[in-house]
Amino acid sequence: MVTAPPLTPTFLLGLTALAVLTYDSVWPDSTDGSVLTGISVVGSLASLAAAGWFLTAGTGLATDGVSLYADAVVVDGMSLFFTALFAAVTILVSLASFDYFAGKENQGELFGLMLLAATGMSLMASANSLATAFVALELVSLPSYALVAFLKNDRGSSEAGLKYFLIGALSSAIFVFGVSLIYGATGSLLLPDVAAAFESGLGDRVGIAGVGVLMVAGGVAFKAAAVPFHFWAPEAYEGAPAPVSAFLSSASKAAGFALAFRVFVVGFPLGPAASAGIDWALLFQVLAVATMVLGNFAAATQDEVKRMLAYSSIGHAGYVLIGLAALSAEASTNGDVMGAAMAHLFVYGFMNTGAFLFVALAENWGVGRRFEDYNGLGAEKPFAAVAMTAFLFSLAGVPPLGGFFSKLFLFAGAVEAGLWWLVVIAVINSSLSLFYYSRVVRALWFEEGDHDLSGAPTALYAALAVALIGTVVLLPGFGPVIETAQQAATALFA
Amino acid sequence: MNPWIAIGALAVVSVGIPVAMMAVSSLLRPSVPEQGKSAVYESGEIPTGTTRIRFNIQYYMVALLFVVFDIETVLIFPWTVIYRPALEGGASMTEVLAPMLVFIGVLVVGLVWAWRQGAVQWVSSPRALEEKTEANQ
Amino acid sequence: MVGAFDYAPAIVLLPFLSFCLAVGVALSGRDLLPKGGALPGIAATAGSLLLSAWVFLTVSGGETYNETIYTWAAGAEATGSLSQPLELTFGLLLDPLSAMMLLIVSLVALLVHVFSLGYMNDEGETGLPRYYAGLGLFTASMLGFVVADNLLMAFMFFELVGLCSYLLIGFWFRQSGPPSAAKKAFLVTRFGDYFFLIGVVAVFATFGTAAFAGEESFPHLAEQAIQGEATVNTFLGLEPTAWFTVVGLLVLGGVIGKSAQFPLHTWLPDAMEGPTPVSALIHAATMVAAGVYLVARMYGFYALSPTAMAVIALVGAFTALFAASMGLVKREIKQVLAYSTISQYGYIMLGLGAGGYVAGTFHLLTHAFFKALLFLGAGSVIIAMHHNEDMWDMGGLKDRMPVTYYTFLAGSLALAGIVPFAGFWSKDEVLYEALVHGLGTTSGLGTALLVAYGMGLIAVLFTGFYTFRMVMLTFHGEPRTETAREATEPGWNVKLPLVVLGILATTVGFVNMVPVKDLTGAEIDFLHKWLYGTEGAGWAEALGTSGYNYHHLLVADYGAGMTAAALPSYLVGLLSLALALFGAGAAYVLYGGTDPDPYTDKLGVLKDVLYNNYYQDEYQVWLAEGVVLPLSKAADVFDQAVVDGVVNGVSSVSLFGGSRIKRIQDGLVTHYAAMLTLGLTVLLVGFAIYGGWF
């Protein structure tokens, strides 16, 4: 009997990328993106379905995990959970791209790069070795640079791409240097072996390992857009085409966290690490506070919606970092709080993508980028405005939307872990975020505006609707999500 | 004694020597500014134009494709070395051959795509063409 | 096998469907439905009625249903000394009480829908889809309330019902009266509902469940807790019995608001601003019944607390008397009916509080029919009088509107409690229960019940008087205005509901003729048997909502501790019948002539007091304006100065901080790289020193 290989969801994303490239090789000059969109959506759907199937059908992957390729890759509940998230975001972004890039050249490259990046993300979530992690990281990063600069005649887009690339190169260098130091200190790149070395004592190599751990943290902080590796994010998100911003700020960020969760929990067990003086939970506490304070405070004073969303996305990275910051050695709450962080990323995948897609829609309509330019859109395009309102309130964590529950679980988990001061800061930030999100809502509904809008692009609307369903359905459906996430996270600590 | 002190000392010395040399020479040498001294060295030729000129993107394309095949070679080479011993050691043909075929297959898809996108098509530069026709006249 | 219980959710969903349909049509702005949406409403309520009848028959066969259908939130672990974690659920409880109520609600709703064809459609009202949407949603919510198997679900539907009442009272929102009446109804009932909500939370906190029936229900747990067989959380350092009394009284807040009991009755007379069919359905037969139904539903809980029982009985009896006295002087026909409604619900409360579970429920049943009948009859009169409701402008309508007259008369006889009409049997049973338990019980509860009985008895006299004053002024004598002279009877859609209800008002009392049983020994107390079930077997044992169980609790020394004195019921019945006849006769004598005098004017100051409802509205307005408003203003000052000051301070600090942070991001990628490296270095140095790496 033929059984599906455990990496099927990842393979499917990669094969879809190849299919897109093949199609583009046959008709390289076509500017009609419908077939490309179709291939991308179908492929991502297949990957999502495979991941969902593996997660739910009791294939044994969800709980135990399977190591492959001499332990370089592991497929378990967490990797499948994140792969499902990446595939879902890819579907949304592909749909939106159909309208956003309609009539533009080189659409094959766009979809191909996006799918390759998604493949890399999925691999990042499965990486069980620092080498795999680095290769996967680069497989995500390199297409992302090109995607940000995709509108090559647009100065903003090119500038953003270049900045992203430069900061990215620096961060990659830091990451790979960190990996080399870890290798030097422990003698292995495989996470379980690294962990074994930590547990058997590092001796006088603690310093090397410590610098290595910190630099690896820097590498994932770059992907997650956390302070102080966040500088690229506002520029890249603002300059990039809006669907790409959505992709980067949702999926790419989640990929960074997926890697961080596995590398730190599996590779650098907190107990021995902390007793050796490498207390990375404290590091993430510092980063979480700095990230959410900076992200939310900067977002409060922005003039442009997209840039505000970019900073808010930094702020959310701060919330998710709580999932790492609230860990402690041998605590029973570890699985819960990290699972809550994963669930928050999942909900965030829908609501944040949705918010950026609304920006894409606005760009497609040709209304401006500032808050005032959105005045009165609610009256003219009620559905889209309702969806945007739901996304924003969900991002702010207003009950009863999906974002409320994920934040609630996350904060509750942190309080249980004893980090109430961190939660106080997070809640203050959260309420500040309601201020700047509601500025958009006010512009949409309560201000008068005059626009000449060119209809409702079908695919973008469909993507918006799917994201809305994701945000709203995750309210009754939140139970399964948080259970899966916490189960997957707990399995990591076993 | 902490071994890091030695490294620190080495760092201090390695920064100190070049700085000291430059400082000493700038104190000692006479200063005679002259245009020829600040000109770009082009093997005795007098340079025309600035150094900041645009290279044709095609150089990059070829270089990128080269890198792809370079890496391919690096990976194929060890594979060829273990191919026969692996077969003799009892591995099946598919086990040994399939991964490489998949790998090359992926590269081929990429190559075909790049080819069809015009990566290896040498676009003629309008300026070069113009100069050529002028020379022929 | 698929039985009636499998279709039971459809009883609630059918009217909801008609609501959705009507809302959809109303939103489309086009007149898509024939009769403005009445027909789907009639079809849906007829369907509900059929299903209710089926459920009723099934329940008669001894089957009951108590199942959770959907759990929408479940707790992870138990709190305090509870054994089960909290669960918030939706479910159905179909026992004799709810089956009977289902039948009442769906029947009255159907008849009111039919009547509305005459009252609203034929009168050319606009906004009919909105009207029928309101009726549909109301019917659905009320039915949902009736079948609720737990207190929280009941609370939710309770609130929905209140919302519908608000929407329908304010149906004519372009006039000045209805919107403010709607607001008043909403606010006053909401005041009671605050207590109810706290009560719901208290029940959850105490028992961890809010189920009405079964082994794991809160009345059962309360009983066990008092006997020391189960542990529950109590608060404020109270003993279980005292704490249960507090919880019961909190829930009673909602009951008093919704069933218009003193002192929260003031909204109901104003609610008559709504269309008359709405008054009949909502403010007489069903919604107002929701309050007392709730008491009956969780009777096992109240029966444990003598204090709560005494409060229920006293509030009920006082309301019965108090409202009846105000009904004596009203000029408008619907006002009289409104006060009589308040008064009659007082009787039901009295019955329940006096340990007469069957008596209270019985009066609930009969009152639903005869009061709906009276309101619909009044509606018919109002149509004929071109929406003039002043009884002094009527007179002599009995010859012009015979169907209306005879059915209205049947309803009036029932209301006044004249044998053999429905109200006689039920009201007498209420009074009988109050008397026997009052005489038999030696504790303070007995005294309270005797006082309550006295007030109830006087109210009988008043009831007879104001009822026949109304009948005489409206239908007898000579027409006093031109409109009354030319009044004609409306069409079949008005007469049909009147006739159906007229027959019911005459006969429904026969289901429980206790005095006749006592006299003859014939076993004809059907309702009694229906609600009691078989002791120690079947549903009575499984659900714990049977009359046997309640009786057991009432007489138990850990419960209310009541004892019934031995008195023949027919003697007690004769006394109240005599009083009712005396009241009715007095009205006939005073107002029975061809041209009656306005005798009420001779009452002088007393009339003013009565006519102004004892200045209830005035003191409540004074409470709102003189006490609450200054407090709110003080709170507002505090909010503006202190809270807002802090908030504004925080926000300006954050905005300032934000603009500083914004400046870091200056757009130069070299700066970014430098700051990134610097940040990493700071972290490295910091952690290296903290961790002592070197």
Pair A251, A82: CB distance under 8 Å: no
Indicate yes or no: CB of C691 within 8 angstroms of CB of A278.
Answer: yes
Angle, helices A334-365 vs A478-493, to 10°: value is 130
Q: Is B71 on the interface with A (CB under 8 A)?
A: no
For the purposes of burial, counting CB atoms within 10 Å of the CB of A106, is it exposed (0-12), middle (13-18) or buried (19 or more)?
middle
Q: What is the pTM of this model?
A: 0.61
| Omega of the bond leading into A269 within 30 degrees of 0 (cis) | no
Give the start-to-end residue ranges of the domains of chain C: 305-598, 619-691
Q: What is the mean pLDDT of chain C?
A: 82
* C656: its two tokens: 């300032």
Per-position pLDDT tens, chain A of length 494: 457 788 888 999 999 999 999 998 888 887 788 889 999 999 999 999 998 888 887 665 555 677 888 888 988 888 888 999 999 999 999 999 988 888 888 888 899 999 999 999 999 999 999 999 999 999 999 999 999 999 888 888 999 999 999 999 999 999 999 999 999 999 899 999 999 998 888 888 888 899 999 999 999 999 999 988 888 898 899 889 999 999 999 999 999 999 999 999 988 888 888 888 888 889 999 999 999 988 888 888 888 899 999 999 999 999 999 988 888 877 778 888 888 899 899 889 899 999 999 998 888 888 888 888 888 888 888 888 889 999 999 898 887 788 888 888 889 888 888 888 999 999 888 888 888 898 888 888 888 877 777 777 888 888 888 888 888 876 667 777 888 888 888 888 76
Q: What residues have CB less than 8 Å from A262, skipping those under 6 apart? A: A78, A79, A125, A127, A128, A191, A492
Which residues of chain A are within 8 Å of residue B106 when distances are taken between CB atoms?
A: 18
- Chain C residues within 8 A of A227 when measuring between CB atoms: 679
Per-residue pLDDT in tens (0 to 9) along chain B, 137 residues: 677 889 899 999 999 999 999 999 999 988 888 877 777 777 877 777 777 877 777 788 888 888 888 888 898 999 999 888 888 888 888 888 888 999 889 888 888 888 888 777 776 666 666 766 666 55
Contacts of C18 (CB under 8 A, 6+ apart): C37, C40, C41, C43, C44, C45, C132, C136
Query: Which chain C residues contact residue A232 at CB under 8 A?
Result: 672
**Pick from A18, A28, A112: CB nearest B116:** A28
Instruction: Please judge whether A301 and C658 are an interchain contact, meaning their C-beta atoms are less than 8 angstroms apart.
Output: yes
d(CA A318, CA A88): 23
CB < 8 Å to C655, chain A: 300-301
d(CA C300, CA C547): 9
- State chain C's maximal CA–CA distance in angstroms: 114
What dihedral angle (degrees, nearest 10) is formed by the CA atoms of A122, A123, A128, A129? -150
Query: Side-chain half-sphere of C681: how many Cα atoms within 13 Å?
Result: 6
Is C662–A302 a contact, with Cβ atoms under 8 angstroms apart? yes
Whether residue C436 contacts residue C430, with contact meaning beta carbons closer than 8 Å, is answered with no
- Looking at residue C307, its amino acid is T
Segment C101-125 mean pLDDT: 83
Partner residues linked to C148 by β-bridges? C92
Interface contact A25-B118, CB threshold 8 A: no
Mutation for testing the A interface, residue in B68, B113, B115 having most A CBs under 10 Å: B113
At which residue do the structure tokens 């990659």 appear?
Answer: A172
How far does A429 lie from chain C, in Å, by closest CA? 10
CA distance to partner chain A, nearest, from residue B89 (Å): 19
Give me the pLDDT at residue A201, please.
Answer: 83
Domain ranges of chain A: 8-493
Q: C694 to chain A: which residues are within 8 Å by CB?
A: 207
Per-residue pLDDT tens over the stretch C547-592: 778 888 887 777 777 777 777 777 788 888 888 888 888 888 887 7
Of the candidates A297, A304, A171, the one whose C-alpha atom is nearest the C-alpha of residue A230 is A171
- The encoded tokens of residue B12 equal 């201090």
Task: With H, G, I as helix, E, B as strand and everything else as coil, classify residue A86.
Answer: helix
CB pair distance less than 8 Å for C658 and A229: no
A-chain residue closest to C74, CA distance: A479
- Which amino acid would we find at residue C256? I
DSSP state of A450: -
pLDDT > 70 fraction of chain C, expressed in percent and rounded? 95
pLDDT in tens, A48-100: 999 888 888 766 555 567 788 888 898 888 888 899 999 999 999 999 998 88
Residue of C nearest to A436 (CA): C655
Q: Of residues C641 and C318, which shows the higher confidence score?
A: C318
Are A405 and A485 contacting, i.e. CB atoms less than 8 angstroms apart?
no
Tell me the chain A residues in contact with residue B67 when contact means C-beta distances shorter than 8 Å: none
Distance from CA of A132 to the nearest CA of B (A): 16
At C242, the pLDDT band (50, 70, 90 cuts) reads: confident
Instruction: Please tell me which of the candidates B106, B110, B117 has its beta carbon nearest to residue A28.
Output: B117
- Which residues of chain A lie closer than 8 angstroms to C692, CB-CB? 277
B116 to chain A, any CB pair closer than 8 A? The answer is yes
**Chain B residues near residue A108 by CB distance under 8 angstroms:** 113
pLDDT of res. A1: 44
User: CB B117 to CB A21 under 8 A?
Assistant: no
State the pLDDT at residue C356: 82
| Per-residue model confidence as pLDDT tens digits over C590-615 | 877 766 666 666 666 777 777 777 77
In this complex, do A215 and C680 lie within 8 Å of one another by their Cβ atoms?
yes
Lowest mean pLDDT among A267-271, C122-126, C306-310, C406-410: C122-126
B16 to chain A, any CB pair closer than 8 A? The answer is no
Alpha-carbon gap: A243 to the closest alpha carbon of chain C (Å): 22
- Eight-class DSSP state of A303: S
The amino acid that residue B35 corresponds to is Q
Of C662, C684, C692, which has the smallest distance from its Cβ to A298's Cβ? C662
- Token pair in block for residue C152: 């929280």
